[in-house]
C-alpha cells in the first residue's frame, strides 16, 4: 500500500512517499528558514506564497526519488490542521486536486498525529497503546495513544507551548531564529546558576508563561551583566524537568510501560537525556524519533495517514470536495 503525503502547516513544504505506513521511499523537505530568519519568525503570508511556488516541484521530486509513478499511488494523505491557515490551504488544495485527477481517496491527517507517528518510522516494533509527550512550538501535550487512530489528551499547556517559550527566551538573549536550537547550543557552555519558577497543577497540565516572564524580568534587571549561557542552561533544564515530572505522573496514573517523545522539541538533547534516565529509573521504555523526523516533514504525515486509511478515516474526494483546512483542531476530533 503506497501513499503520497503532503505537509505544509508552517514553513516547510514537504512531500513523502510511504509504503505500508513504515517504509520511507522518499521524503523531500523544502525549508524556508533562511527567508524567515530576517524577520525573526515565520511570516504567514510569505510562507503561503513560497508553498505555492514550491509544491509542484517537491511533489515531482518525491515521486522521482521513490522511483514510482502517480499510477502506483493508493491514496493521498495531507495535513489539514492545525497550523497557519494560508499554508495549510496550499497543501489541502493541491492534495484534493491530485486525488481527484488520480481518482484515489484523500486522507486528511492531524499534524500532531503525524509527529507521534514519526516514531513508527524509527521503531518498526512500536505499537499502541503508549503515552506520548508532544512538545513543539505550538503544542505541549500528554496524550494517551490508545490505538493508531484513537487519542485522548490527558494534559496540555494552559498558556505558552514549550517551543514557543524557547523562542521567546532566545529573543531575550539576542539569539537568531529559529531560537530553540540556539538556546540549546548556548546552554552547553553554561551553568545552572539562576533559579527559575516551576508550575505544578493538581492535574497533568503545563504552564510556561511564568518561567518565560521570569527570564525577561531577570534580563531587564541585570542588563549587560546577564550571564546568557547560564540563563540558557537554567531555562532549558528547568522546563525539561517540568516536562519529565508530569510525564512520570502520567506513567504512574496510566500504569503504562511505553513513552513516546514527539514534536520539534523532541530533538532537544537535555530532554532526550532526561527521558532516557527516567525510563531506566522507572522501568518503562522510551521511544524518540530520529532527528530527521523531529521537525515538520511529510514522512510522519504519511505514516499517520496510512493508519487513518486502513481504519477507514478517508474520503473518496469526488464525494467530499468540501474538505477544508482548519487552523485549530483538537487531536482525535
How would you write 233-299 as a 3-class SS string?
A: HHHHHHHHHHHHHHHHHHHHHHCCCEEEEECHHHHCHHHHHHHHHHHHHHCCEEECCCHHHCCCCHH
Q: How many CB atoms lie within 10 A of CB 32?
A: 20
Task: Decide: helix, strand or coil at residue 313.
Answer: coil
Residue 325: per-residue pLDDT: 94
More confident residue, 258 or 320: 258
3-state secondary structure 182-232: HHHHHHCCCCCCCCCCCCCCCCCCECCHHHHHHHHHHHHHHHHHCCHHHHH
Residue 38: per-residue pLDDT: 75
pLDDT reading at 33 higher than 80: no
As a whole-number percent, the residues of the chain with pLDDT over 70 amount to 100
Task: Give the separation between CA 214 and CA 78, rounded to whole angstroms.
Answer: 39
How much is the average pLDDT of 131-137?
94
Prediction pTM value = 0.94
pLDDT in tens, 276-288: 999 999 999 999 9
CA-based nearest residue to 306, from 51, 84, 24, 101: 24
How much is the average pLDDT of 167-191?
94
How much is the average pLDDT of 52-79?
97
How much is the average pLDDT of 36-60?
89
How much is the average pLDDT of 290-319?
93
Question: Please, which pLDDT band fits residue 37 given cuts at 50, 70 and 90?
Answer: confident
Residue 267: per-residue pLDDT: 95
pLDDT reading at 43 higher than 90: no
Residue 322: per-residue pLDDT: 85
Residue 302: per-residue pLDDT: 98
The pLDDT mean for the chain works out to 94
pLDDT reading at 320 higher than 80: no
> What residue segments make up the domains of the chain, in order of their start?
2-116+294-319, 125-291
Residue 138: per-residue pLDDT: 83
pLDDT reading at 182 higher than 90: yes
As a whole-number percent, the residues of the chain with pLDDT over 90 amount to 87
Which run of H or of E encompasses 18?
A: strand 12-19
Helix axes 228-254 and 209-222, enclosed angle (nearest 10): 170
Residue 159: per-residue pLDDT: 93
CATH numeric code, 2-116+294-319: 3.30.420.40
pLDDT in tens, 73-107: 999 999 999 999 999 999 999 999 999 999 999 99
Task: Give the separation between CA 105 and CA 276, rounded to whole angstroms.
Answer: 40
More confident residue, 45 or 222: 222
CA-based nearest residue to 178, from 58, 11, 55, 45: 11
pLDDT reading at 235 higher than 90: yes
- Half-sphere exposure (Cβ direction) of 101: Cα atoms closer than 13 Å: 8
How much is the average pLDDT of 222-243?
97
Helix axes 162-172 and 209-222, enclosed angle (nearest 10): 10
Task: Give the separation between CA 56 and CA 177, rounded to whole angstroms.
Answer: 27
Task: Determine contact, residues 155/205, Cβ cutoff 8 Å.
Answer: yes
pLDDT reading at 331 higher than 80: yes
Of 71-75, 184-188, 318-322, least confident by mean pLDDT is 318-322
CATH numeric code, 125-291: 3.30.420.40
How much is the average pLDDT of 240-268?
97
Task: Decide: helix, strand or coil at residue 37.
Answer: helix
- Domains 2-116+294-319 and 125-291 are alike in CATH topology: yes
Residue 27: per-residue pLDDT: 98
Bridging pattern class, strands 140-147 and 130-135: antiparallel
pLDDT in tens, 192-203: 999 999 988 999
pLDDT in tens, 10-25: 889 999 999 999 999 9
- The C-alpha angle with vertex 152 and arms to 156 and 132, in degrees rounded to 5, equals 65
pLDDT reading at 132 higher than 80: yes
Task: Give the separation between CA 124 and CA 41, rounded to whole angstroms.
Answer: 35
Amino acid at each position: 500500500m503506497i501513499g503520497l503525503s503532503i505537509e505544509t502547516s508552517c514553513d516547510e513544504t514537504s512531500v513523502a512517499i510511504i509504503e505500508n505506513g513504515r517504509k520511507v521511499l522518499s521524503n523531500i523537505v523544502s525549508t524556508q528558514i533562511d527567508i524567515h530568519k530576517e524577520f525573526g519568525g515565520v511570516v504567514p503570508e510569505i510562507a503561503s506564497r513560497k508553498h505555492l511556488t514550491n509544491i509542484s516541484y517537491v511533489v515531482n521530486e518525491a515521486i522521482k526519488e521513490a522511483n514510482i509513478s502517480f499510477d502506483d499511488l493508493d491514496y493521498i494523505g495531507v495535513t489539514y490542521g492545525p497550523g497557519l491557515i494560508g499554508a495549510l490551504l496550499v497543501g489541502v488544495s493541491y492534495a484534493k486536486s491530485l486525488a481527484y485527477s488520480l481518482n484515489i481517496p484523500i486522507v486528511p491527517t492531524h499534524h500532531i498525529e503525524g509527529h507521534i507517528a514519526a516514531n513508527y518510522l524509527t521503531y518498526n516494533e512500536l505499537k499502541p497503546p503508549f503515552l506520548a509527550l508532544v512538545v513543539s512550538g505550538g503544542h505541549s501535550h500528554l496524550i494517551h495513544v490508545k490505538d493508531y487512530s484513537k487519542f485522548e489528551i490527558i494534559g496540555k499547556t494552559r498558556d505558552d507551548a514549550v517551543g514557543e517559550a524557547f523562542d521567546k527566551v532566545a529573543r531575550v538573549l539576542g539569539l537568531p531564529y529559529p531560537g530553540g536550537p540556539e538556546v540549546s547550543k548556548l546552554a552547553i557552555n553554561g551553568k545552572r546558576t539562576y533559579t527559575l519558577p516551576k508550575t505544578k497543577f493538581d492535574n497533568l497540565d503545563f504552564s510556561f508563561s511564568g518561567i518565560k516572564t521570569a527570564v525577561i524580568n531577570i534580563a531587564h534587571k541585570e542588563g549587560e551583566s546577564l550571564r546568557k549561557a547560564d540563563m540558557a542552561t537554567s531555562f532549558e533544564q528547568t522546563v525539561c524537568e517540568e516536562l519529565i515530572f508530569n510525564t512520570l505522573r502520567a506513567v504512574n496514573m496510566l500504569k503504562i510501560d511505553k513513552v513516546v517523545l514527539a514534536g520539534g522539541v523532541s530533538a532537544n538533547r537535555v530532554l532526550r537525556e532526561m527521558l532516557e534516565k527516567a525510563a531506566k529509573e522507572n522501568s518503562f521504555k522510551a521511544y524518540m524519533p530520529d532527528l530527521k523526523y523531529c521537525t515538520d516533514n511529510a514522512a510522519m504525515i504519511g505514516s499517520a495517514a496510512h493508519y487513518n486509511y486502513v481504519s477507514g478515516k478517508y474520503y473518496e474526494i469526488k464525494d467530499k470536495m468540501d474538505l477544508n483546512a482548519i487552523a485549530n483542531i483538537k487531536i482525535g476530533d
